[in-house]
Structure 1
Amino acid sequence: MAERKPIESWLTDMDGVLMHEGIPVPGADAFIKRLRESGKPFLVLTNNSIYTPRDLHARLERIGLDVPVENIWTSALATAKFLDDQRPGGTAYVIGEAGLTTALHDIGYVLTDAEPDYVVLGETRTYSFEALTKAIRLINAGARFIATNPDETGPSAEGALPATGSVAALITKATGREPYFVGKPNPLMMRAGLNAIGAHSETSAMIGDRMDTDVLAGLEAGMETFLVLTGLTRPEDVDHHPFRPSRVVDSIADLVDLI
């Protein structure tokens, strides 16, 4: 592998890397502490669009991980940034939670079901038949279809939950229209995050627990990539993909000394 420049900035996924089912991964607190002491730019990323950065800051703080609000980057924020660049001051019909609606309100979007510019699909635990029907009809009437992320399932203590990608597939089947996914593995989310902290891809690293989102997003954004085995990916899964991370490590604890 070609020699890379020293790592000056860090991006890390949250679920499966820093925490797992609400419990901090051993070494995550040391990693965040070392990052903050180093003064290096960093972001904690998540494809989950349910929560605002302030919500996530509070959730992480409760389990002993002190991540400032400004160091949290969600697919909801990336989606809002994308829409603000594409069509400033637009309108959207939104299926999602406070993380997404707050991000869109903050860029001046009007949320409406009256001829919206976009239908924006995000994560929620309360998908309703009525809301999905309305989304399908609005897309058929000409609204552009955007989704925060392509994740088909999400974790829970009881097992897998259907996530944004699965619901997007339902809408696509009904409309014949594919959404534009903003979140990982779209490198757009990574580049927007890097821009937010003034970092450059050639001196940045991405840490994740999923090959198909985290590693792929970092790879396509031109970053060094680290796969941790504390989440969804097993060592034998790596070779099933046509791309590889820069390094595979047991957990984020193995990366503390690299900062």
Structure 2
Amino acid sequence: MKNNYQGYFIDLDGTMYKGTKRIPAAARFIKRLQEAGKQILFVTNNSTRSPEFVANNLTINHDIHVNSDNVYTTALATADYLDQIAGEKRRVYVVGESGLRNALTNRHFTITDTSPDYVVVGLDSEVTYDKLATAVLLIRAGATFVGTNSDSNLPNQRGMVPGAGSLVKLVEYATQKQPIMIGKPEKIIMAMALKKSGLNKEQVVMVGDNYNTDIKAAINFGIDSLLVYSGLSTKSEVSKEAIQPTHQVDSLDDWQVER
């Protein structure tokens, strides 16, 4: 079993924790990676939280001691991707929260509802009909449509509430335009994460609990994957998939880290 990867791209919910509940094996896994000098990047589809918030949550609530440099969100990936292709076209209308807006402004984009070059739709817990209507009208007028991620639902204390993908789908239906999608299982977030890491594809592995997002992202991008059965996907479901994960473990305690 090849496990001398230099870089680990790691999912959060279901892999590092389950909601507010700790996964003790996750903290032990990260400690082993840190002791072996591996590069760690948490790759998450959540566009609402800042990297600082995510790192603080991991450190304080889950005994996983990392900093904001270890966190890569769809908000950052969206801003990095647009920064790469935008040139002088830097006007953006945003349906989303502070994590997404801050990532874009930090990359010198202007957030506006007047003649934007791009409309970016992410998760927005305070979304209104008017915000969505504005997004639709601007896309129909010619703005390029970008979606942060396609997650239909998001787990919280109330249950499985609508995710960013539900808002993206509404705008897609009303515009009849296909968005550029950034987050897992798409390739863009993986390409941006790899670029940030400075490593090459053979040196990294994607670790996650969800075959349909984490593992498919790795497959689509052409890197190895490690599926851990601590969250969403089950062995019976995964056994039916045509393309299997590169590695599978019941617990992250089962993964040996080579120095």
TM over 0.5: yes
In the other structure, the counterpart of 2:128 is 128
- Deviation, 1:257, is 4.1
Q: Does 1:13 align with 2:47?
A: no
TM-superposition CA deviations, 1:63-116 (whole Å, max 9, x none): 121122111111111000110011135011101111101100000000000010
Consecutive unaligned residues of structure 2, counting only runs of 5 or more, are none
- Deviation, 1:258, is 5.1
In the other structure, the counterpart of 2:79 is 80
Q: How far, CA to CA, are the matches of 1:249 and 1:154 in structure 2?
A: 24
Of 10, 30, 45 in structure 2, the residue corresponding to residue 32 of structure 1 is 30
Aligned-partner SS, 2:255: helix
- Deviation, 1:157, is 2.4
In the other structure, the counterpart of 1:229 is 229
In the other structure, the counterpart of 1:140 is 140
Q: Calculate the TM-score normalised by the size of structure 2.
A: 0.94
In the other structure, the counterpart of 1:251 is 251
Aligned-partner SS, 2:116: coil
Aligned-partner SS, 2:94: strand
- Deviation, 1:124, is 2.1
Q: Does 1:112 align with 2:115?
A: no
In the other structure, the counterpart of 1:173 is 173
1:30 and 1:256 in contact (8 A); partners too: no
Look up the equivalent residue of 1:42 and give its one-letter code.
Answer: I
Consecutive unaligned residues of structure 1, counting only runs of 5 or more, are none
- Deviation, 1:5, is 7.7
From the superposition, tell whether residues 74 and 256 of structure 1 become closer, same or farther in structure 2 (CA, over 3 Å). Answer: farther
- Runs of 4+ off more than 6 Å: none
Q: Calculate the TM-score normalised by the size of structure 1.
A: 0.94
In the other structure, the counterpart of 1:195 is 195
1:147 and 1:180 in contact (8 A); partners too: yes
1:155 and 1:161 in contact (8 A); partners too: yes
Aligned-partner SS, 2:84: helix
Of 57, 72, 75 in structure 2, the residue corresponding to residue 59 of structure 1 is 57
Q: How far, CA to CA, are the matches of 1:10 and 1:161 in structure 2?
A: 29
Q: How far, CA to CA, are the matches of 1:258 and 1:39 in structure 2?
A: 10
Q: Does 1:182 align with 2:182?
A: yes
- Deviation, 1:241, is 2.9
TM-superposition CA deviations, 1:99-140 (whole Å, max 9, x none): 101100000000000010011011122221111111111111
Q: How far, CA to CA, are the matches of 2:163 and 2:76 in structure 1?
A: 18
1:46 and 1:75 in contact (8 A); partners too: yes
- Deviation, 1:249, is 1.3
Aligned-partner SS, 2:100: helix
Q: What is the RMSD computed on CA atoms of the aligned residues?
A: 1.6
- Deviation, 1:256, is 5.0
Aligned-partner SS, 2:119: strand
From the superposition, tell whether residues 258 and 219 of structure 1 become closer, same or farther in structure 2 (CA, over 3 Å). Answer: farther
- Deviation, 1:200, is 1.4
Percent of pairs with identical residues? 35
TM-superposition CA deviations, 1:217-239 (whole Å, max 9, x none): 11222222111111111111113
1:18 and 1:252 in contact (8 A); partners too: no
2:139 and 2:145 in contact (8 A); partners too: yes
From the superposition, tell whether residues 214 and 257 of structure 1 become closer, same or farther in structure 2 (CA, over 3 Å). Answer: same
- Deviation, 1:4, is 5.5
